[in-house]
Amino acid sequence: MSVRIGDIAPDFEQDSTEGKIRFHDWAGGKWVVLFSHPKNFTPVCTTELGAVSKLKAEFDKRGVKALGLSVDQLTNHDKWADDIEQTQGARLNFPLIADADKSVSDKYGMIHPNASDTMTVRSVFIIDPNKKVRLTLTYPAATGRNFDEILRTIDSLQLTDKHSVATPADWQQGEDVIIVPSVTDEAAKEKFPQGWKALRPYLRVTPQPGK
């Protein structure tokens, strides 16, 4: 099974480094980044978990909870946390799901059997406060993710939920945005009093609202 944008994120109950987690209750009304890594005690995964731990203040600022997952046993996760701290300079500060029976991985389609039938790929699901899946990413085992990009996509999702805008390629917080095509010029005059530049009738660029 796979989980796609617009779906309600499947609920589950599973063991984690912070006790049993019932996902929907644990998420509460927050944004969640649920991500899998293929295997504990492997090099790229060690750097990724350190990277997410270092970004805790950035996730907190955006009201986002991080939740990691692999198909390793729970005891294995605890030992590995020491290695992450010693090699990456950051103590694990979010729970890791120990999905040894693969029940969550299967529900979310995190195992791609033609890549590996024993480990997950590097999946990312960004889930909003209504439990709706808003973004998915899939990376192969040998390629570590860029978690600044994940923060950037959260900034875009949170901004575009509030205003009738979209964010262009490579957009960063504070930069100009695009007025969505469904907003007429007439309506845009009200919504975007600071005005816009129309590069084409369908490509109207305006300063980021609420900056």
CA 200, CA 20: separation in Å to the nearest integer? 53
Which listed residue (74, 141, 157, 183) binds ligand BEZ by CB under 6 A? Answer: 141
Is the separation of the CB atoms in 157 and 135 below 8 Å? Answer: yes
One of 17, 42, 136, 160 touching ligand BEZ (CB under 6 A):
42
Q: Tell which phi-psi region holds residue 152, choosing left (phi > 0), alpha (psi between -120 and 50) or beta.
A: alpha
Stretch that binds ligand BEZ, among 4-12, 37-45, 75-83, 173-181 (CB under 6 A): 37-45
Give the residue, chosen from 32, 45, 64, 165, that forms a contact with ligand BEZ under the rule CB under 6 A. 45
45 noted as active-site residue: yes
Catalytic pick from 21, 33, 34, 45?
45
Q: In sequence order, what are the beta bridge partners of 22?
A: 13
Structure tokens that stand for 137 in this block:
């990413």
Shortest separation between residue 41's beta carbon and ligand BEZ, angstroms:
9
Closer by beta carbon to ligand BEZ, 137 or else 141: 141
- The tokens for 154 are 């959260």
Can you tell me the distance from the alpha carbon of 51 to that of 13, in angstroms, rounded to the nearest whole number? 26
Stretch touching ligand BEZ by CB under 6 A, among 35-43, 145-153, 187-195, 199-207:
35-43
- C-alpha span between 2 and 106 (Å, rounded): 8
For residue 113, what are the CA distances in angstroms to 65, 137, 206?
29, 17, 45
What is each CA distance from 85 to 46, 143, 192, in whole angstroms?
9, 21, 47
Instruction: Using CB under 6 A, pick the residue from 30, 39, 62, 65 that binds ligand BEZ.
Output: 39
Instruction: Give the shortest CB-49-to-ligand BEZ separation in angstroms.
Output: 10
Told to check if 63 binds ligand BEZ by CB under 6 A, we report: no
Contacts (CB under 6 A) with ligand BEZ, residues 152-181: none
**Minimum Å distance from CB 195 to ligand BEZ?**
48
At 196, list the tokens: 């816009």
Q: Which residues bind ligand BEZ (CB under 6 A)?
A: 38-39, 42-45, 119, 141-142
By annotation, the residues acting in catalysis are: 45
